[in-house]
Amino acid sequence: MTAPAFLDVDGSSIAVRHMAGSAPGVVWLGGYKSDMLGTKAETLADWAGKEGRAFLRHDYSGHGESGGAFADGTISKWLSQSLAVFRHFTQGDQILVGSSMGAWIALRMVQELRKAGDTSVVGLVLLAPAPDFTAELVEPALTEAQKRDLAGKGYFEEPSDYSAEPYIYTRALIEDGRDNLVMTGPIDTHCPVHILQGLADADVPASHALKLVSLLPADDVTLSLIPDGDHRLSRPQDLDMLVRVVGDMVGRGR
């Protein structure tokens, strides 16, 4: 595998892998504490290569091959990095594919790009979407001990099902999350949206995806529920569905 390129964004060295090809290109946005060499991103990279399709992915600061400390990250910081990578490396129309927290980043990117007059995002594919997860999923479930840790230490830890290292949730992440909420009213993406959600997802409940769908009334929205799908959606049948859905979205183009 070739080494990544690096883009300096506000002092953070962001690792990027970009494959040139036809438009609409596909932009991968990973989840919280995941990296751009995960199964879903690699599957899409292989597919894009065979199709001659442009494909872009990066690691947020504190993730994967990028610099910086994970605990210093916030939604605003990771959003800024994602926008900088998008603007530097993409040309023409693009499909954003966001997994878990990456779906939140994708929705915020569309808002910020549209504000700047950029209409190049022509489709969204969101997997196990977790927009507003700090306010909608983390804060309501805080224990008294976690609240004390946030107040005293500025963070709390939680065991991860996907890594030997615990998840770290900082007070800065939670407070900054409140400044980036998207599920407070109707969300205008101005493009088709396809959501993939597992009904066996123990991390982001299907009710969260249903709430998101209810806030996308003005757009062409498809929700595919996967009865035995978990949060990762990385089984062979899940990956086949992902490639099919992204391929269909690319085919719609503009």
What are the pLDDT digits (tens) for 67-116?
999 999 999 999 999 999 999 999 999 999 999 999 999 999 999 999 99
Domain total in the chain: 1
| Whole-number pLDDT of residue 219 | 67
| Whole-number pLDDT of residue 165 | 78
Q: Is residue 147 part of a domain?
A: no
Q: How are beta strands 53-58 and 22-29 bridged, if at all?
A: parallel
| Whole-number pLDDT of residue 161 | 74
Domain span including residue 121: 5-131+186-252
| Whole-number pLDDT of residue 122 | 96
C-alpha to C-alpha distance for 223 and 213, rounded to whole angstroms: 8
Match 């990544």 to its residue by tokens: 4
C-alpha to C-alpha distance for 126 and 222, rounded to whole angstroms: 10
What CATH number is given to the structural domain containing 226? 3.40.50.1820
pLDDT band at 254 (very low <50, low <70, confident <90, very high): low
Q: Is residue 19 part of a domain?
A: yes
Average pLDDT over residues 226-251: 96
Average pLDDT over residues 144-166: 88
Q: Give Cβ neighbours of residue 195 (< 8 Å, ≥ 6 apart).
A: 125, 126, 127, 129, 209, 212, 213, 221, 222, 223, 224
% the chain with pLDDT above 70: 98
Residues 186, 195 contacting (CB under 8 angstroms): no
C-alpha to C-alpha distance for 114 and 106, rounded to whole angstroms: 12
Q: Is residue 30 part of a domain?
A: yes
